Structure 1
Amino acid sequence: MPELPEMENYRRRLVEAVRNHVITDVEVNREKSVGVPVAEFVRRVNGRTVVDIVRRAKHLVFALDSGDALLLHLMLGGSMHYGTAVQRPLDTCQVIMSFGEQHLYFVGLRLGYLHLLTASELRAALAKLGLEPFDPALTPQLFTSLLTRRSTVLKVKLTDQHVIAGIGNRYSDEICFAARVLPLRKTGSLSGEELAALYRAMHTVLEQAIAAGGYMASPFSTTDTTTGGYNGRFFVYNRGGEACRVCGMPIVRTENAGRKVFYCEVCQH
C-alpha cells in the first residue's frame, strides 16, 4: 500500500501535470470507486478546474474550483498514470479524467477510491487523522507523549493513523531499523534516547524515500524518471531471510496483529 513518500511523490507529479488545468472529460467504469452515482460525478467534475492537489497522510485531495474535492486513497493495488490515449495502461481503469489530449488514469481502485466530497464532507473524512510526521506541531516532546501515552507494540503505534498519519508497514519497519529499535518493543519500555532516535529516524527515512520517489515500480508518465527510485533500498522490509546490509545476519520475518514485521535481531534491540 502506498504510504506518505509514494503519495507525496504522486502529489508533486500531479501539481506539475494538472494543477490549474480544466477537466475536459470524465469516464467512470466502477461506481463504487467514486462514492456517488456516475451521472452525478460526471456532472460535478466535468468542466471544473483542478486548483490544487494536496496530500493528507496517505490521501491526496484534488481541490476543484467549485469547492468540491476528490479524495483519493489508492489502498492495495492502486496507481495512477498520466499520458495520451496511446499511452493508456493495459490494466482496467476505474476512472479516467481527461485534460485535453492528456488523460489521468486511475488503476486498481477496487479497494481504493476517488470519492467526490463537499468541503464539509472532506473535513469530516479527514478529521480523525493524527499529525503529519513533518508537522512543526509534532515536536520531540509531543512525539514521545503520543508513543508512550498507552504502552503498546511500537509498530502498531507508528502505523496508527490516528496517532501519526502517513506511516504504514514498510516505513515503520525501516524507521525502527534506522533507530536500532525492535519494532515489537512495547512503547512503555523505550528510553528517552531510543525515542529521540525514533523521532530522528522518522524524518530521515521519510525524507530519503520522498527524494528518491518512493517504491512504486510503475512510472507516473513517460517523462517520469523519479518514481520508484527507493525500491530496492529497503534495509529490512520484505527481506526476510536475506542478509542484513549492516551486519550480514538474516533478516527476521514475523507477524504481529496481522501485519508483516521485518527486523534484524542483531542490529536492533
Structure 2
Amino acid sequence: MPELPEMESYRRLLGRLLDSRAITDLQVNREKSINVAPEAFRRQLVGATVRTIDRRGKMLLFLIDEERILLLHLMLGGLMVWGTEAERPQRTVQVEIAFGAERLYWVGLRLGYLHLLSAEQAEAVLRKLGPEPLSAEFTETALHRLLQGRQVALKALLVDQAVVAGIGNCYSDEICFAAGLQPSRSCDSLQSAEVARLYRAIGAVLTEATAAGGYMDVPLFAGDTTTGGFDARCRVYDRAGEPCVRCGAAIVRRDVGSRKSFCCTACQSGDGI
C-alpha cells in the first residue's frame, strides 16, 4: 500500500505534470471507485483545472476550487500511471482523466477510491487523522505523549492513522529497524532514550524514502527515474532470510497482530544498538 513517501512523491511529480492544465475528458470504468454518479462526476470536472495538489497522510487532495476537492486514497494495490492513450497501462483501469493528449490512469483501485467532496466534507475526513510525522508540530515531546501509557505493540501504534498519519507496514518496519526496536515492543515499555531514537528514526527514514521516490516500483510515467527508488534501500521490509546490513544476522518475518512484519532479532532487541 502506498504510504507517505509514495504519496508525497506522487504529489511532487503530478504537481509539475498538471500545472495549469484543464481536464478535457474523463472515463469511469468502475462506479464503486467514485462517490457520485458518473454523469455528475463528469459534469463537475470536465473543463475544470486542478489548482494545486496537497497530501495528508496517505491521501492526495486535488483542489479544483474552494468548494470542490478530489480526495484520493489508493489503499492496497492502487497506483497511478501518466501517459498518452498509446501508453495506457496493460491492466484494468478503474478511472482515467484526460488533460489534453495525456491522461492520468488509476489502476488497482479496488479498495481505494477517488471521491469528489466539498471542502467541508474533506475536512471531516481529514479531521480523523493524527499529526503529520514530518511536520513542525510532531516533536519528540509529542511522540512521547502519544506513546505514554499505551499497552500496544509499537508497530500497531505507528500504523494507526488516527495516531500518526502516513506510516504503514513498510515504513513502520524500517523505522523500528533504524531505531533498534522490535516492532512488537509495547509502547509503554519504551524509555526516554528509546523514544528519542524512535523520533530520529521516523524523521530520517521518511525523509530518505521520500527523496528516493518511495518503494513502489511502477513508474508514474515513461522515463520516470524517481518512483520506486527506495525499494533497493529497504533494510528489513520483505527481506526475510537476507543478512542484516547492520549485524549480518538473518532478517526474519515476525508478524505483529495481523500485520506482516520484518526485523532483525539480533540487533533490534530494544536494548540499544
Secondary structure in structure 1 of the residue aligned to 2:72: strand
**Separation in 2, partners of 1:175, 1:148:** 19
What corresponds to 1:204 in structure 2? 204
- Deviation at residue 12 of structure 1 after TM alignment: 0.5
Secondary structure in structure 2 of the residue aligned to 1:130: coil
Q: Give CA deviations for 1:5-63 in whole Å, capped at 9, x if unaligned.
A: 00000000110001321101011001110111111111111111100100000000000
- Deviation at residue 211 of structure 1 after TM alignment: 0.7
- Deviation at residue 150 of structure 1 after TM alignment: 2.0
Q: Does 1:116 align with 2:83?
A: no
Which amino acid letter does the alignment assign opposite residue 135 of structure 1? S
**Separation in 1, partners of 2:190, 2:103:** 49
What corresponds to 2:28 in structure 1? 28
What corresponds to 2:70 in structure 1? 70
1:1-269 matches, within 5 Å, as: 1-65=1-65, 67-269=67-269
TM-score normalised by the chain length of structure 2: 0.96
Secondary structure in structure 2 of the residue aligned to 1:243: coil
**Separation in 2, partners of 1:108, 1:183:** 29
Secondary structure in structure 2 of the residue aligned to 1:152: coil
**Separation in 1, partners of 2:231, 2:255:** 22
CA contact (8 A) 1:173 1:237 kept: yes
Secondary structure in structure 2 of the residue aligned to 1:96: strand
**Separation in 1, partners of 2:155, 2:117:** 32
- Deviation at residue 66 of structure 1 after TM alignment: 6.0
Sort the Cα spacing of 1:146 and 1:66 in 2 relative to 1 into closer, same or farther, 3 A: closer
Superposed CA RMSD = 1.0
Which amino acid letter does the alignment assign opposite residue 132 of structure 1? E
**Separation in 1, partners of 2:122, 2:27:** 22
- Deviation at residue 67 of structure 1 after TM alignment: 2.2
Secondary structure in structure 1 of the residue aligned to 2:77: coil
**Separation in 2, partners of 1:241, 1:93:** 35
TM-score normalised by the chain length of structure 1: 0.98
Q: Give CA deviations for 1:123-161 in whole Å, capped at 9, x if unaligned.
A: 111111000001111111011100124221111011110
Q: Give CA deviations for 1:233-265 in whole Å, capped at 9, x if unaligned.
A: 111111112211221111121222210111111
Overall identity of the aligned pairs, in %: 53
**Separation in 1, partners of 2:168, 2:78:** 15
CA contact (8 A) 1:19 1:53 kept: no
**Separation in 1, partners of 2:85, 2:66:** 27
Structure 2: gaps (5+ residues): none
**Separation in 2, partners of 1:65, 1:130:** 25
Which amino acid letter does the alignment assign opposite residue 37 of structure 1? A
CA contact (8 A) 2:183 2:256 kept: no
**Separation in 2, partners of 1:162, 1:27:** 33
Aligned residues: 269
Q: Give CA deviations for 1:158-200 in whole Å, capped at 9, x if unaligned.
A: 1110111000010001001001111111111111000000000
Structure 1: gaps (5+ residues): none
Secondary structure in structure 2 of the residue aligned to 1:80: strand
**Separation in 2, partners of 1:242, 1:3:** 24
**Separation in 1, partners of 2:101, 2:261:** 44
Structure 1 runs (4+) deviating above 6 angstroms are none
CA contact (8 A) 2:150 2:186 kept: no
